[in-house]
Amino acid sequence: AYGAHGRVAAALAAADAGGGAGLRVLGGLAAGWFFGANTAGVPVYDPATGVTADGVETDGRVNRNSGAESTIHGLLTMLLLDARPDVAAVARGITGLAAFDGLRVLDAEGGRLGPGCTVVRPAEGAWTGEGNLVGGGYVAVPDGGWVELEVPATPDGLGGWALPLVWRTAEPSGEADWEVVGGARLGRTQNGGTGAPGLTEVPGSLVPQLLDHPLPDGAATVTVRCTARGGPLRLDALLVRPAVATARWTTTGDDAVLYAGSTARAVRVPALAAGRGAAYRSDGVPDRTVRVAAGAPVDVPAGGVTITR
């Protein structure tokens, strides 16, 4: 619940700070989580009592506990909607989440491990104190060691972005070079160097790191290799974001569809549903109006979003 509230609040705060109308629409779509746009397909907020479920698992299981934090975040979200009737109309018209294509997770333990690499499963379990390790463990990569992961092509062939999920240590531990085998260099990530703990007492951090360059376009699977340089690396996974992430909501009217671009140039992808709406720049300012038929090309601005309803 607090994650959903955070997305709504962030979009609307950016809109209030001078962002365009598209940010208000994004805020409404994000608020749809409370009304059924989740993996369970059921409302998790009760307007009669204010009770808000703690969360929904990726497999659709609903955590029906309703602690103080969850209820507070649910009510804070509703206050944001009450103050913005146009945003509330978007959110309360949503009935479910029909489909989505966003991050894919490639567990490092399932990759090709170079000499000296070992799979480590902490005795205390997957929980690091701040997050869970994918698959319950990580790959310990020695200085000079490497791991290779097969990254399938996206259906649209537009490439995407690789985001290494590294369990960084508090002390410096060198870097990791990332490249496509037989292809371009993608960038470099830090193995450590987070410094002293912040709000939590847990040293280090388990966070994705964005590489400098995107994955190549094309319809072929590519092999991505990381090599530790200057110190050991704790590699948990590789997150892969498509060049255009999509989500499709069922509503009381026509389906709503979000096409979120992350490319340096405008691209076209097949429309997931018929509808009309607008393409927005990264700051939410409208770029153009859009009207598409299902399967027809829909334009997505560079780094922006297109929303049809």
pLDDT tier at 197 (50, 70, 90 boundaries)?
confident
Across the chain, mean pLDDT equals 95
CATH 3.40.920.10 fits 104-242, yes or no: no
The C-alpha R_g of the chain, in whole angstroms, comes to 21
Q: Quick one: pLDDT at residue 67?
A: 82
Structure tokens at 47: 């307007």
Does pLDDT of 98 surpass 90? yes
Domain ranges across the chain:
1-92, 104-242, 243-309
- What is residue 28's three-state secondary structure? helix
Q: Quick one: pLDDT at residue 200?
A: 79
Q: Quick one: pLDDT at residue 258?
A: 98
Q: Which of 143-162 are b and which e, b meaning 16 or more Cβ less than 10 Å from the residue's Cβ?
A: eebbbebebebbebebbbbb
Q: Hey, do 104-242 and 243-309 end up sharing a CATH topology, with the first three levels equal?
A: no
Does pLDDT of 21 surpass 90? yes
Residue 277 and residue 309 in contact, taking contact as beta carbons nearer than 8 Å: yes
pLDDT tier at 58 (50, 70, 90 boundaries)?
confident
Rounded CA-CA distance 175/231 in Å is: 7
pLDDT tier at 157 (50, 70, 90 boundaries)?
confident
CATH 2.60.40.1180 fits 243-309, yes or no: yes
Residue 256 and residue 166 in contact, taking contact as beta carbons nearer than 8 Å: no
Does pLDDT of 161 surpass 90? yes
pTM for the predicted model, two decimal places: 0.91
Segment 199-219, tens digit of pLDDT: 778 899 999 999 999 999 987
Residue 188: Cβ-neighbour burial (10 angstroms; 0-12, 13-18, 19+): middle
Average of per-residue pLDDT across 270-282 = 96
Q: What is the DSSP letter of 32?
A: G
Helix/strand/coil (H, E, C) string of 43-98?
Answer: CCECCCCCCECCEECCCCCEECCCCHHHHHHHHHHHHHHHCCHHHHHHHHCEEEEE
Rounded CA-CA distance 34/84 in Å is: 16
